[in-house]
Amino acid sequence: MNVLDQIAASKCREVEERKFRRPVHELEKMSFFKRPATSLREALQKKAGAGIVAEFKRRSPSKGLINAMAGVKEVVTTYEKGGAFGISVLTDAPYFGGSLEDLMVARECCACPLLRKDFIIDEYQIIEARAHGADVVLLIASLLSFSQIKQFSSVARSLGMEVLLELHEEKELEKIPDGISMVGVNNRNLKTFHVSVEQSVLLAGKIPSGMIKIAESGISSPAVISELFSHGYKGFLIGECFMRESNPGEAFEKFINELHQKGL
């Protein structure tokens, strides 16, 4: 059993426990549930240059502890002030040290589109994401079947949310259902953790036209963004590059300034 399989198995147990503790009817009563969602797709579509989706995470399965001291409010506020087009918040606890409370804190202090990044294996998690302030949910193609992706996407749309469908391999292009408008290419193989930015280059021309392309993982310099931007990527999801610094917000602002110097 690879790491992704282990994560999926533990996530199934975790979700069943959460369903028992907080049923859907309780989630629907939460204050953020009926809040109008903010579109990440529209924000990136209007952007002439590269749009950064800045991520908050404390740890990862591949890197271990990244930043135990950073506070959600401080980091997210600086991300938004610095020009992030969206903010990704890890809500997985066992592997990333995140929580739904982190998502709520982020929602309370920023207005830009929020992505709930987790291992979504049940539509309950999408309802949960909406109730805690998310505008977008991540669906991982290597973790889900075509029918699951189609169903979960439908649930998200019914709640006014958007979906970022994450791919890694060419064969996963077959899992893109109608209604998906944003596709992310994860340069990290979630089964081996090997990272290669070339993965985004390889898949760029094969993603259906009209979709917003977002590159994920292994993006650590404006030079990489410049190359991927030339291949049609509009969005760039970056986390570790900022979070490994003692002041993630400051690292983000420096990165954005370097991007602007390149005309992106």
Annotated active-site positions, please? 55, 57, 117, 166, 186, 216-217
Tokens encoding 213? 């392309």
Return phi, psi of residue 235, to 5°.
Answer: -120, 155
Q: What is the distance between the alpha carbons of residues 193 and 186, in angstroms, rounded to a whole number? A: 11
| Cross-strand bridge partners of residue 212 | 182
Three-state SS for 86? strand
| Cross-strand bridge partners of residue 138 | 164
Amino acid making up residue 185: V
DSSP-derived secondary structure letter, 87: E
Q: What is the distance between the alpha carbons of residues 100 and 174, in angstroms, rounded to a whole number? A: 31
